[in-house]
Structure 1
Amino acid sequence: MKLSDFDFDLPDGLIATRPARPRSSARLLVATPDELLDRRVWDLPGLLRPGDLLVLNDTKVIPARLRGLRRRGEAAARIEATLLSDRGGGLWMALVRPLRKLREGEVIDFGEGLSATFEGVEEGQARLRFALSPDAFAEALARAGSMPLPPYIEALRPADEADREDYQTVWAAREGAVAAPTASLHFDADLLRSLEAAGIGFVHVTLHVGAGTFLPVKVDDIRDHRMHAEWGEVTEAAAAIIRAARAEGRRVIAVGTTAMRLLETAARAGRGEVVPWQGETDIFITPGFDFRACDGLMTNFHLPRSTLMMLVSAFLGIDRIREVYDHAIREGYRFFSYGDASLLLPGGR
């Protein structure tokens, strides 16, 4: 398929720069092969079936965006960095601007007791070495860093203190993401209690969302696209809960494309059955994909020409997704990370 198959025109006014308040008041478009329903996220307990199992990504976003100074004699230059992955021993891979002005061995001072030595470039990413213990590093990063909002939001406004809470799920537990699993941002404590009372189950998995989730697809033939890799884990306990649900005929519904990508990775490792799994996944889901783990998907509305548009097109069908997105635009749904949500159910309600 061609990249143009996943394109659409989106009015700028539908790009959300702040989340709905309260979280669960966001709009929810329920889509099956036969119907489209305009609802709110807080309606989920009545839209799902008792016994449904929601799979939640418990990754925690770190304040990975840093701004600092590189000094060379009397001269100083501003440096921006986004931490991407922890290599251990204080070494982080990062996106740095302007990268070409740095020399190996130079120190970047990010303030608040946080500084890093530039150790060169690896596959377009900077190697930054922080000389702090893990605890001291976490404390300094919390003071110096800001939340790594998506580029399309940062083009409109800078991150602020409100984003430290808004761009984090209420169940975030395991630090390591540099982007939020945004479908999960719609859940609050009241909604979780209502879902539990309705007989809906939960299970947590971890996929540390990387900045690569925002990278554009630059090839016309999507088979030539190289997917970014992200670290994830499905524990033995989580895999057992998911297998039990499927064995009993209960639906497994991924909350977010990150949870879905991880479950489908674990299902391939188990030859169709979700098994305990840990490692880096670069699974690329496009139309024609054979889904083995998920019966439903709750997700936000995605960027045109993105890998996530390809994923939802694979799940519900490319023609049906076009109808879903046409409806969402016509009805004024808010798009992208802080936007509204959809609930995709290929098997119907």
Structure 2
Amino acid sequence: MPLDNIGYLFQAFLVINLEDFDFPLSDDRIAKYPAKNRDESKLMVVQRKSGKITISPHFRNIADWLYPSDHIFYNETRVSKRRVYLETKNQDRIHETIFIESRDSQYWNCLVRNSKKLKLGDILFSPVQKLEFIVFEKREKDIVLKSNITILEEFFDQEGNIPIPPYLKRKSEPIDDIRYQSIFSEGKAANSIAAPTASLHMSYELRKNLIEKGIQFHPLHLEIGFGTFQPIYDEDIIKKKLHKEKIFISPDTAIAHSLASENKERRIALGTTTLRSLEAMYRTSLDIRSGWEGETDIFLTPDDTIDTIDGLITNFHLPKSSLLLLVSAFAGSELIMESYKLAIENDFTFFSYGDAMLIVD
């Protein structure tokens, strides 16, 4: 390793040690299925200034902690059915495939299970239409598949499955088609590989009640990639960069955020993808009120200062994950790790279908 990299590594470890964000979690603490109703998950409220932690039996009680003047910013993205079980010609082998991104709708970067059994030129077939996919290129972390036709979202609707997270250790079921989508994604184009999971707690009734209370909702759009499930390494901390994700923030949402800031009204981010989007806009845009569209690889860690929000609604995340570091950047590492310990002691469930946390001052 070059000497300058060693210096950066030493500097990074002075600030962040991933081991500080590790915690034991038994398998039964991972929610394999969603709560019966969206707003019936448990809620933990963490107050940054006082350090007080309050446990509430249901997420819908979040209304008690929100003010009529609050603004909730949310990610409206919809999950695409990008998990397809491709078959060999004689159907003697099935390769579970996640279609990550396309170059021109015919060449796709994919994660393929049992990819070592494939060689260049091999042909896989889709289960319903029997469309051909040629193994065009094998790379270190993924495979490039070439289709014989243009692949559009209609293909995934017919052939694919909702790509629920790998830690659920099961195949997707009909309930996931509904509950692994947020209510905000209805009618939107499907272009994400994972859900903005904090939004999964929001029910139509709860949203209606919050709006009647005076709370305003503002959409933005971040396409969530499969990188959200990938582990992070010391090198990521050094570079302060993660996987790239596409973001669109309309002028209306940008203006609403700017006005809320000027009027000292609380800006609540519904989910970490929303926080990442707002931070990306403010760190790169020269004219905030015009909105913003672009890509970000921003990696927010506890040594960062976050000024774009006054509150965060989020789930309980994986140990040593980028999302846990991001939440710690907003609330402080010690307080977050204390709250996670308390969550485990009080039988909270974790990850995508698990319980929720509200962080406010």
- TM-score, length basis structure 1: 0.91
The letter for the 2-side match of 1:262 is S
Distance in structure 1 (CA, Å) of the matches to 2:289 and 2:123:
45
Q: How many residues are treated as equivalent by the alignment?
A: 340
The residue aligned with 2:341 is 326
Q: Deviations over 1:201-250 (max 9, x none)?
A: 11111111111111112338832575111111112222112112111111
Aligned partner (choices 81, 84, 88) of residue 66 of structure 1: 84
1:47 is the counterpart of 2:70: no
Contact 1:55 1:205 in 2 (8 A): yes
Q: 1:80 to 1:319 in 2, by over 3 A?
A: same
- TM-score, length basis structure 2: 0.88
Contact 1:239 1:275 in 2 (8 A): yes
The letter for the 2-side match of 1:87 is R
Equivalent position SS for 2:133 = strand
Distance in structure 2 (CA, Å) of the matches to 1:302 and 1:272:
33
After TM superposition, the structure 1 = structure 2 runs for residues 186-335 of structure 1, keeping only pairs within 5 Å, are 186-219=201-234, 222-223=237-238, 226-270=241-285, 276-335=291-350
Distance in structure 1 (CA, Å) of the matches to 2:195 and 2:209:
24
Instruction: Give the superposition deviation at 1:162.
Output: 1.1
Contact 1:218 1:225 in 2 (8 A): no
User: Which runs of 5 or more residues in structure 2 are unaligned?
Assistant: 1-15
* Deviation >6 Å, runs of 4+: none
The letter for the 1-side match of 2:127 is G
The residue aligned with 1:9 is 24
Contact 1:69 1:110 in 2 (8 A): yes
Equivalent position SS for 1:228 = strand
Range with bigger deviation, 219-228 or 93-102: 219-228
Q: 1:228 to 1:330 in 2, by over 3 A?
A: same
Contact 1:58 1:174 in 2 (8 A): no
The residue aligned with 2:112 is 96
1:126 is the counterpart of 2:128: no
Contact 1:303 1:309 in 2 (8 A): yes
The letter for the 2-side match of 1:252 is R
Q: Deviations over 1:117-154 (max 9, x none)?
A: 322135632222334456xx43332122111111110x
1:140 is the counterpart of 2:155: yes
Contact 1:300 1:337 in 2 (8 A): yes
User: Which runs of 5 or more residues in structure 1 are unaligned?
Assistant: none
The residue aligned with 1:80 is 96
Q: Deviations over 1:243-296 (max 9, x none)?
A: 121111111111110110011000111369575222221110101212131111
The residue aligned with 2:4 is none
Contact 1:119 1:128 in 2 (8 A): yes
After TM superposition, the structure 1 = structure 2 runs for residues 16-31 of structure 1, keeping only pairs within 5 Å, are 16-31=31-46
Instruction: Give the superposition deviation at 1:106.
Output: 3.1
Contact 2:78 2:189 in 1 (8 A): yes
Equivalent position SS for 1:282 = strand
Contact 1:267 1:292 in 2 (8 A): no
1:160 is the counterpart of 2:173: yes
Contact 2:110 2:144 in 1 (8 A): yes
Equivalent position SS for 1:117 = strand
Q: Deviations over 1:70-105 (max 9, x none)?
A: 23xx68432221011132333321111222333334
Aligned partner (choices 56, 65, 74) of residue 74 of structure 2: 56
Distance in structure 2 (CA, Å) of the matches to 1:139 and 1:75:
23
Instruction: Give the superposition deviation at 1:180.
Output: 0.6
Aligned partner (choices 128, 149, 165) of residue 164 of structure 2: 149
Alignment RMSD, CA only?
A: 2.0
The letter for the 2-side match of 1:256 is G
Distance in structure 1 (CA, Å) of the matches to 2:283 and 2:173:
40
Q: 1:340 to 1:331 in 2, by over 3 A?
A: same
Q: Deviations over 1:132-183 (max 9, x none)?
A: 456xx43332122111111110x2x221111111111111123111011100
Contact 2:46 2:359 in 1 (8 A): yes
Distance in structure 2 (CA, Å) of the matches to 1:224 and 1:279:
20
The letter for the 1-side match of 2:85 is R
Equivalent position SS for 1:50 = coil
